[in-house]
Amino acid sequence: MKHLLKMLDLSSEEITQILDLADQLKYEKKHGIAHPYLEGKSIGLIFQKSSTRTRVSFETGMNQLGGQALFLSARDLQIGRGEPVQDTARVLSRYLDAIMIRTFEQKEVEDLAEYGSIPIINGLTDFSHPCQVLADLMTIREKYGDLKGLKMAYVGDGDNMANSLIVGGLKMGMCVAVATPNEYKPDDLVLDFANDYDSFLWTTDPKEAVQNADVVITDTWASMGVESEKEIRKIAFAPYQVNDSLMELAKENAMVLHCLPAYREQEITEKVFEEHADEIFEEAENRLHAQKAVMVLLMKD
């Protein structure tokens, strides 16, 4: 593994390696065991989309690993004023040991990897959110012990989360069911990948997707960049709310996960959210541990 650009690039063995190391790092942190595996290393954090969890978890994680993280907003970089991505990649490669970028276009992440000479980590694009999905898989595995054979149901927008959950879940031997409105389907590249699996289902019916699910996952209906569509999306996604009646179709004691921020009484009810708050905030914490594992695997000598 040279980079973390999208879930499609990872093998099941590489995902397992990340999750195993994340478990180890989480154990060490909980027990006060120092793990300065990246002492003397530096990572640049490029943000063209704002963030709470991504910024704090990467900065804190790098600090705990003994290295330093530099926050680089689009306002502070020449890339935000028209400098070609390839030039930024080549310059930063001479200063840093890795780059994490949170941006809009997947191509920008791919270009950094092509022209740079250091590891590139996708902190989020409109197409993919691998760091979040690694944390999700970690959280599910913590509860069930294994991922293989579990049913994951995703309900809502066919966005970067849907794209990444489909790929990650299928690669780890899960059954994956996704329910979205027809006009908000996951990316065709992901559907082409998933259609080779008998364990995959895409449907417009959330009840069909959630039937006998071990874990139910949702996301905001209007992600960053599509806020202007918020009212239109509220109407389109109204039947896709994760609520008590939908959860009755899942297995008893099924997990509920949400990558946050959550808009209660839209994609998920206040009641369901609070009943599963421990799982959701464990999922949020696991961003820290999963990303630390990625950084160690990419950056350690």
Phi, psi for residue 129 in degrees, rounded to 5: -140, 65
Decide: residue 243, CB within 10 A, 0-12 exposed, 13-18 middle, 19+ buried: middle
Q: What is the pLDDT of residue 218?
A: 98
Q: Report CA 102 to chain centroid distance, whole Å.
A: 11
State the amino acid at position 55 in one-letter form. R
Residue 75 assigned ligand-binding role = no
pLDDT on residue 80: 55
List pLDDT tens digits, range 136-155.
Answer: 999 999 999 999 999 999 99
Local confidence band at 187 (pLDDT 50, 70, 90 cut-offs): very high
- % residues pLDDT > 70 (the chain): 98
3-129+287-299 and 132-285 have identical folds:
yes
3-129+287-299: CATH topology is Rossmann fold (3.40.50)
Question: Token digits for 226?
Answer: 């599509």
Is 90 annotated as ligand-binding?
Answer: no
Asked whether residue 233 carries a pLDDT value surpassing 60, the answer given is yes
Instruction: Write out pLDDT tens, residues 44-75.
Output: 999 988 888 999 999 999 999 999 999 998 77
Banded pLDDT at 16 (limits 50, 70, 90): very high
Q: Residue 35 burial (CB < 10 Å; 0-12/13-18/19+)? A: middle
Was 25 annotated as part of a binding site? no
Give the residue numbers annotated as catalytic, written as ranges: 102, 129, 132, 219, 259, 287
Q: Which CATH number fits domain 132-285: 3.40.50.1370, 3.20.190.10, 3.40.50.720, 1.10.760.10?
A: 3.40.50.1370
Q: How far is CA 280 from the centre of its chain?
A: 13
For the chain, the structural domain boundaries read: 3-129+287-299, 132-285
pLDDT tens, residue by residue, 23-41: 999 999 999 999 999 999 9
Query: Comparing C-alpha atoms, which of 101, 154, 107 is closest to residue 130?
Result: 101
Whether residue 258 has pLDDT greater than 70: yes
Residue 63 counted as an annotated binding residue: no
Element (H, E) at 231: helix 230-237
Average pLDDT, the chain: 95
Enter the pTM of the model.
0.96
Query: According to the model, what pLDDT value does residue 117 have?
Result: 97
- Residues 188-212, mean pLDDT to the nearest whole number: 98
Tens-digit pLDDT profile for residues 71-119: 998 777 776 567 888 898 999 999 999 999 999 999 999 999 999 999 9
Give residue 242's pLDDT band: very low, low, confident or very high (50, 70, 90). Answer: very high
